[in-house]
Structure 1
Amino acid sequence: MRIIVGVTGASGMCYAEGFLRACEELGLETVLVISEAAKRVAQHELGGLDPLLRRVETVYGENDLDAPLASGSHPSDGMVIVPCSMKTVAALANGYTANLVSRAGDVMLKEGRRLVVVPRETPLHFVHLENLARLSKLGAVVLPAMPAFYHRPETISDLVDFISGKILDQFGVEHSLFKRWRG
């Protein structure tokens, strides 16, 4: 399986790192597309880009609009944008593809491939909600970074693993990142 991973400037780089780690452990191929704002946030939250870059073989910047994944002819099983800024949500919801993250996401929508957006913003106002609803209507999966607590997480990693697992569920990938609800 080949998943494109877009990383934008929203807070929540631990979710990007956790998802990339899970993919690496499961032997999934990932291609990273990182925005300039994400690079700055990663510096603050992860101490730099190394926790992300060491887990992937291929990395593109947001201005690499001639990258293969900017075309619908480029094969992939889908894309996740984690964390997904409201700027990127707005761009995708309105067909505005000014950078490679939004272009690759737009390709997923137009080609009918899986697109998962993981917004990490709170609170949300009406336009945020409207754009998220529009993305859902276009076929994207909106998966907010809202971990569950029924599995009794003990660490931040447990919370991150829950979200990573929920993303993997959207791609039909089996994993044991969290304990499933059994009632």
Structure 2
Amino acid sequence: MNRRLLAVPALVFAVLAVGGCSAKTRGTANPAETTDSSSSETSRSAADSAPRVPEPLNAANITSDACTTINADGRATLSLGDGTSRSTANGPSCTFQEAADPGNQIDVTTVTANKNGLQDVYDTKANDAYFGETQADGYPAVYAAALDDRKDGKCGLFVGVTDQLAVNILVQYDHGSGASDPCSVAQKFGEAMIHTLKEG
């Protein structure tokens, strides 16, 4: 679907050039840091602004298949069909469509290209048209996108599942209540994802 392929880079991972200086991008891997918990504690500086993840979740499945971010119960709650997986430069991605209305869809990307979780989102917030902190079932999250198309049924949400890994949820709804309030759909998906990961 052309709309999907064009919308994801434009809304989520586009980064504006600022004054010719290099900057972190959400779709480009930053220098890898060790994932050892004791080392990661010291690698984050006092200037880091992103909230910490309260308890890291087991993300082994979603780093290879983003369609496993939500289980059958979660899909049923949101009236979603089975997801269709694909690979992107940012990490594994999955598209879920409403079973009754394929014009309503949610693209989910496990952003493995970056190694600093939500901190990378905070570091690039100057490039976003909107940026709002929230939570998904107690886990830190941020509404953010390079373009503000919320009035057109689109909303981007990043959820931290570990301090090194964030998942991007991009809602694109053309019809129904989700079209007028897409961020509430993203929130519900994020909460269902946390429940799924907690269950293992």
Question: Which has the larger helix fraction?
Answer: 1
Scaled by the length of structure 2, the TM-score of the pair is 0.28
Structure with the higher strand share, 1 or 2: 2
For normalisation by structure 1, the TM-score amounts to 0.30
